[in-house]
A and B are shown apart, each in its own frame.
Chain A
Amino acid sequence: DSGVTQTPKHLITATGQRVTLRCSPRSGDLSVYWYQQSLDQGLQFLIQYYNGEERAKGNILERFSAQQFPDLHSELNLSSLELGDSALYFCASSVDGSISSYEQYFGPGTRLTVT
């Protein structure tokens, strides 16, 4: 158990809908990262937040957005969902915002299925 929690574990929704994925980092970790893992694209870094502020951006679509709240939990919002958005979404956390140096702890993921 990494200490990172993600809810829900599974999510099934229809095209065009909007969903919110939630992540609680390990106690004491200030940084949260979001990743998307699909068979087509592999593992893609989406975005990073550090202590409430956006720090790094990867291949995140404009239909997707994220935020980190004062209690350090984070939410990833996916809107106007398409079939291709079906994937595993991972959250990870680390103590520091510098992802070059510090280990990231991954949550178990949320499996999103868009029908």
Chain B
Amino acid sequence: AQSVTQLGSHVSVSEGALVLLRCNYSSSVPPYLFWYVQYPNQGLQLLLKYTSAATLVKGINGFEAEFKKSETSFHLTKPSAHMSDAAEYFCAVTRSGGYQKVTFGTGTKLQVIP
């Protein structure tokens, strides 16, 4: 079985401050990991993905995440928050090797304070 845990359903940061959204995964086989962003009244958009290549993954909008096997973590970071980053962020896990279901975390709502 696979699962992801997102710590903190709501995170608030000041504009210009570091963004850190936490995701820990559980998987019995090598995982593929994703971060998605959902803006209000929209569908999800892929920010970045880890598929067993480089452990530091860079995504869109200045976000990046680092896969740490020893900590079973895939935290999402951005050096400087922008007002437009306010959204809900989802971590997701699937297994490598073809057709597998994706398991999403419960989401973290990011608030950016001016």
Contacts and interface: CB of A to CB of B under 8 A. Distances in A.
B107 A42 contact: yes
Interface stretch (A14-22, A68-76, A78-86, A97-105): A97-105
User: Which secondary structure characterizes the binding site on chain B?
Assistant: loop
Interface string B75-110: 000000000000000100011111111111111000
Contacts of B44: 43, 90, 92, 104, 106
Contacts of A104: 44, 46
A52 interface: no
A100 B45 contact: no
A45 interface: yes
A100 B106 contact: no
Interface in A13-61: 33, 42-45, 48, 50, 55-58
Contact of A44 (B46, B104, B107): B104
Contact of B43 (A4, A45, A98, A100): A4
B42 interface: yes
22 contacts: A2-B45, A33-B102, A42-B105, A42-B107, A43-B104, A43-B107, A50-B99, A56-B100, A58-B101, A90-B43, A92-B43, A99-B94, A99-B101, A100-B51, A100-B94, A100-B97, A100-B100, A103-B49, A104-B46, A108-B43, A109-B42, A109-B43
Interface of A: 2, 4, 33, 42-45, 48, 50, 55-58, 90, 92, 97-101, 103-104, 106-109
Interface of B: 32, 41-46, 49, 51, 90, 94-107
